[in-house]
Amino acid sequence: MLFAIMFAFWRFAEIITLIPIMGMLAWFVDGYLDASVMTPTHVLLLFIVSVLALAWSIFTLFSYHRSSANAHFVALVDFAFVGALIAGVYYLRFIARADCASIRPGSSVDVTLGLFGNARFSIPGLPEVTVSKTCGMLKACFALAIMNTVFFFITSVLAWVHGDHAVKDERRYVEARRRGSHSRSRGHGSRSRHRSHSGHRHGGSRRSSHSHNRAYV
């Protein structure tokens, strides 16, 4: 019961944080496709990982009984997503130190953003400050991806521990059944020997009485 609560909680956390990643990166992918330009690796990789991770999280959440029975497999897949998310974060690492409020045209961050490098909007009430919308979106994706790396690691550990407990419970159940069947077979054998011994004894007495009667006659 505790595993179910913890597993469902962290799965919900993963789904809630993966949806914004997928949505924002889908906007980038759509923009590059409209411009007939190849999508950069730092966008495409994290987008693919987020889509697959979201589908996996929803599937394992709504098919909990199957996931619980295959806990070790779920743990391995979750750990694989940990590695994939780390790779996505690594390719997007350039955005971590970027100041989205002061990106200059032609700077390294502006060039890396590609088609979206000059997409900016002003904050109401602060006309002097311009914030790069695309930079902010990528930085949010970067932070959420780091969070999901931790979340998937937690669910991987939970599933692996639950799988170990399930295997131990199954072994104890099998051993208990074996001991029960062994004791039943021993009891059946002792009763059979008892009946055979009684039969031999009664048969012997009948034979002895029969022989005695014949001798007497």
From CA 166, how far away is CA 161, in angstroms rounded?
A: 9
| Residues 154, 10 contacting (CB under 8 angstroms) | yes
A 10 A CB-CB count for 166 gives 16
For residue 158, being part of any structural domain is answered with yes
Would you state the torsion angle of the CA atoms of residues 104, 107, 109, 115, taken in this order, to the nearest 10 degrees? 80
From CA 99, how far away is CA 136, in angstroms rounded?
A: 9
For residue 184, being part of any structural domain is answered with no
For residue 140, being part of any structural domain is answered with yes
Residue type, 126: L
Tokens 């690691």 found at: 153
pLDDT of residue 125: 53
For residue 183, being part of any structural domain is answered with no
From CA 26, how far away is CA 22, in angstroms rounded?
A: 6
From CA 143, how far away is CA 139, in angstroms rounded?
A: 6
Q: Which of 163, 22, 156 is nearest to 83 (CA)?
A: 156
Which is more confidently placed, 101 or 128? 101
- Tokens linked to 176: 């208990």
Q: How far is CA 96 from CA 102, 132, 180, in A?
A: 14, 14, 62
From CA 156, how far away is CA 54, in angstroms rounded?
A: 15
β-partners of residue 132 are 120
β-partners of residue 130 are 122
For residue 217, being part of any structural domain is answered with no
pLDDT of residue 165: 52
From CA 138, how far away is CA 93, in angstroms rounded?
A: 10
A 10 A CB-CB count for 88 gives 29
Mean pLDDT of the chain: 76
| Residue 156 pLDDT > 90 | yes
| Residue 119 pLDDT > 80 | no
Q: Report the domain count for the chain.
A: 1
For residue 212, being part of any structural domain is answered with no
Q: How confident is the model at residue 77 (pLDDT cuts 50, 70, 90)?
A: very high
- Tokens linked to 192: 């059979």
For residue 65, being part of any structural domain is answered with yes
Which is more confidently placed, 8 or 147? 147
Supply the range of the domain harboring residue 15.
Answer: 2-174
- The pTM score is 0.69
For residue 154, being part of any structural domain is answered with yes
Which is more confidently placed, 155 or 201? 155
